[in-house]
Amino acid sequence: MDYDIAVLPGDGIGPEVTEQALKVMKAAASRFGFGLRINALPYGANHYLKTGVTLPESAFSELRSAKALLLGAVGDPRVPMGPLEQELLLALRFRFDLYVNLRPAKSFPNVRVPINTIPEGRALDILVVRENTEDFYMGLGFRDRGDIKGKFQVKRGLYELGGALGLTISPTSDMAAALGVITGPGSRRIAQRAFAMAQARGDGHLHVASKANALPQLYGFWDAQVNEVAADYPDITLKRMNVDNLCYQLPRAPMDFGVILCPNLFGDIVSDLASSLIGGLGLSPSANLGEGFAMFEPVHGSAPDIAGTGKANPLAATLSGALLLTWLGQSEAARAIEGTVREYLSKGANLPFEVGGDAPAEKVGQILTDMIQAK
């Protein structure tokens, strides 16, 4: 069986790490008897600077013909903040209704970590389940001097939302405002996924990030929706924590955590903290899942300062490729990739710069490929 996979290498180190991830994925596909048909797309900073267009409508048509998308990284200092992030990354999440963002954080051998609260012989296995289409990432923001008068119209997989915002300030001053929106259907569907994952893992509990004490209208509503879903999972203990306390407790007692359910904004922050506990973003993959399409990307950014220097770490992109294979139903191949990464790190030789070695991305990718082919 062959699968059509779209690839968007993107910016900075994105092309470097994506190339190595694909090399490893193809080796695993060959070993387990399936094929990957790759359609590489040119969109990113260079395309935007040449054309003024971030992601044309034709790109969405191309993507609809694929089973999944592997994304390298987005961001370039030559492009102002906003177009690449909102019109490419967020646009993909919204257009394909990729409402589930999974960000696993697992311990790996021979990787230094900044904490001493992981007991000897045990490993972290945290899964941040982030709602991916609502909250303050809706893109509903305005800035002006004096009064703000803005209209908006957005479309999500579950609904269309329109309206207007009018604010006045006296005396006149520069002002900015952003709207965070959380809906019942959007909250309940991500909560259902998180509870099901905690149940499948056998955790017995699920943490949920909130900030209802300071923002009761938004996160108090979020809590109520999660509580409603919790009633359907009596075997799972719900542990609600304000996000500031969660970030305080996570490094102090990381083994207490398994699945962490977060609204969009908090999930972005908590997952980076979790990544730091396992040794860095270069070991952190992610999945953006919808009902019929999915996008996979390393959690790290484009790191333009180290692009082309040989310091890029391709492991997060490779592990994202493993998540992609799981999505395709090729779980055995996915497990082989993660197992090979663990075996490679356990040897302690030819490691990426980020984890104390000096091996460039190309060498790391070739080592992993050779290991998979040799089995």
What is the distance between the alpha carbons of residues 73 and 15, in angstroms, rounded to a whole number?
8
What is the distance between the alpha carbons of residues 33 and 320, in angstroms, rounded to a whole number?
20
Let me know if 97 is a catalytic residue.
no
List 147, 232, 244, 305, catalytic entry: 244
Let me know if 11 is a catalytic residue.
no
List 4, 203, 272, 363, catalytic entry: 272
Structural contact between residues 102 and 322, judged by C-beta atoms closer than 8 angstroms: no
Let me know if 50 is a catalytic residue.
no
List 11, 97, 223, 268, catalytic entry: 268
Please, which residues bridge with residue 329 across strands?
Answer: none
Let me know if 223 is a catalytic residue.
no
List 211, 219, 311, 344, catalytic entry: 211
Residues 6+ apart with CB under 8 A from 161: 138, 152, 153, 154, 155, 181
Let me know if 370 is a catalytic residue.
no
Three state DSSP letters for 152-204: EEEECCCCEEEEEEEECCCCCCEEEEECCECCHHHHHHHHHHHHHHHHHHCCC
What is the distance between the alpha carbons of residues 333 and 24, in angstroms, rounded to a whole number?
10
- Nearest to residue 239, comparing CAs of 259, 219, 268, 264? 259
List 3, 48, 99, 137, catalytic entry: 137
Catalytic residues: 137, 211, 244, 268, 272
